[in-house]
Amino acid sequence: MIATQNNKCRRIRSWLHRIIEKRIGFDTPWIRDHVANCPRCQKRLAAIGRVTFALSAIKSNAHSLGLLQRANTQAIGVLKHSLREGPKADLLREALPKPKLLERLGTYKNSVANIAACLIILCLMKVGVFSSMDCVQTQGSKIVKQYYANRAGQDLADEIFIA
């Protein structure tokens, strides 16, 4: 019964912390004044700050594959002797991280993009976009030739635009 009550209290404190952080914020003057005068809150906020800082440092640095094994080994070292020597502990010591599917396929993204670009060009050719562009170019040449014929004379236009 007491363990259930403690879990409920922790859950409620966690919810309250999130609500205060989202709705009010820790920069509110009355919260800053309270923390400045309350040693218990100072210790808790300092601990939260250290954890937040550590997590942000972990997220920002690239890690070697052995990090999970080292972390598991440290965690296993804290357990009772009977648990440290169990088969599950051995599995944890040997565990390696498994990259997500997108991370594994990330090395092929340039090749996939090139293939996709080629396929799009082939589809556009099949649809006739490039033949339509050739038609537009031909029509544009005729219009420019007509412009020169009107402005400079038909003889000059025929010399410039040899058929």
- pLDDT (tens digit, 9 = 90+) per residue, 43-93? 877 777 776 776 676 665 656 667 777 777 777 777 777 777 888 888 877
- Whether residues 155 and 113 share a domain: the answer is yes
Cα 18 to Cα 2: distance, rounded to the nearest angstrom: 24
- Whether residues 72 and 46 share a domain: the answer is no
As for how many domains the chain has, the answer is 3
Chain segment 112-135, per-residue pLDDT in tens: 888 999 898 888 777 776 677 778
- Whether residues 119 and 141 share a domain: the answer is yes
- Whether residues 119 and 153 share a domain: the answer is yes
What the block records as the tokens of 85 is: 């020597």
Q: What is the DSSP letter of 136?
A: H
Domain enclosing residue 46, as ranges: 1-61
- Whether residues 18 and 54 share a domain: the answer is yes
Q: How many other C-beta atoms can be found within 10 angstroms of the C-beta atom of residue 73?
A: 13
Cα 32 to Cα 1: distance, rounded to the nearest angstrom: 36
- Whether residues 118 and 139 share a domain: the answer is yes
Give residue for tokens 């080994």: 73
- Which of these three, 53, 77, 98, is where a domain ends? 98
- Whether residues 89 and 129 share a domain: the answer is no
- Whether residues 49 and 24 share a domain: the answer is yes
Model's pTM, two decimal places?
Answer: 0.26
- Whether residues 77 and 47 share a domain: the answer is no
- Whether residues 77 and 126 share a domain: the answer is no
